[in-house]
Amino acid sequence: METTHLLGLVTGILFGFALHRAGFSRCEVVMRGLAFRDFTMLKVMLTAIAVGMVGAAGLATFAPEHAHLKVKSLYVWGILVGGLIFGIGMAIAGYCPGTALVGLGSGVRDGLLAVVGGLLGAFAFILAYPALEPVLIQPLDLGKLTLYETLRLPYLPTALVMAAVLGGIVVWLNRLEAKQRT
């Protein structure tokens, strides 16, 4: 096994373990989360994003040789349409591509079914790609834009401020939830 393979496996085990402990093997965490009846999903996601945000900017600033960042291109139509389809699927299944695997690993039947459906959806996309690419992916591709470059702001301070904003939202959600329970 190559080093890259081993690194992928170790990262996946960490990621899957944390997702499972956070409760994502059960589809209702996502369903209720999207309907704003339970804030677990949002709190876990926003915490993870905030930590990753500070880490990514910190690595890029202090150890750029170790910052393997990968900003995705902003091709507006594909991301918009793909995102809209994704949202419907996420609400129906109660899973996203990662948490479906957590359901599978946890022995949940619906996780297995979502993974099988996902493999079929991926196969359908492979076949549809030549037809979709010129319509939704090539036009209106604005390139690999970031918030700080677009606004001409320095990277690390912007990331710290944004992470603090996300942290603030999490604290607010937590209080809101505590109030709703009483």
Partner 1 sequence: MITERTEVSAQAARTVGAPSRVGLPRWFIWGGLIGLAQIFAIATVQPLGVSTAYPQLVGYLADRVAPGFAESQPYLQKIGARIGWEVMLITGIVLGALLSRTLPGGNRIAACESPTLFRASWARGLAAFAGGFLILFGARLAGGCTSGHMLSGIAQLALSGFLFGAAAFTTGVLTASLLLKRANGGR
Q: Does 135 bind partner 1 (CB under 8 A)?
A: no
Q: Does 160 bind partner 1 (CB under 8 A)?
A: no
Q: Does 12 bind partner 1 (CB under 8 A)?
A: yes
The residue from 61, 62, 64, 98 that contacts partner 1 (CB under 8 A) is 98
Q: How far apart are CA 31 and CA 22, in angstroms?
A: 15
Q: Does 131 bind partner 1 (CB under 8 A)?
A: no
Environment class of 104 (CB within 10 Å of its CB; exposed 0-12, middle 13-18, buried 19+): buried
Query: By rule CB under 8 A, what string of x and - marks binding of each residue 28-67 to partner 1?
Result: xxxxxxxxxxx-x--xxxxxxxxxxx-xx--x---x--xx
Instruction: Find where tokens 């109030």 sit.
Output: 179
Residue 51 identity: V
Residue 78: how many other CB atoms lie within 10 Å = 19
Q: Does 169 bind partner 1 (CB under 8 A)?
A: no
Task: In angstroms, give the least distance from the CB of 89 to partner 1.
Answer: 3
Q: Does 91 bind partner 1 (CB under 8 A)?
A: yes
The residue from 61, 78, 169, 176 that contacts partner 1 (CB under 8 A) is 78
Q: Does 140 bind partner 1 (CB under 8 A)?
A: no
**Token code pair at residue 125:** 């996309």
110-119 contact pairs (CB < 8 A, 24+): 110/27, 111/25, 111/27, 117/93
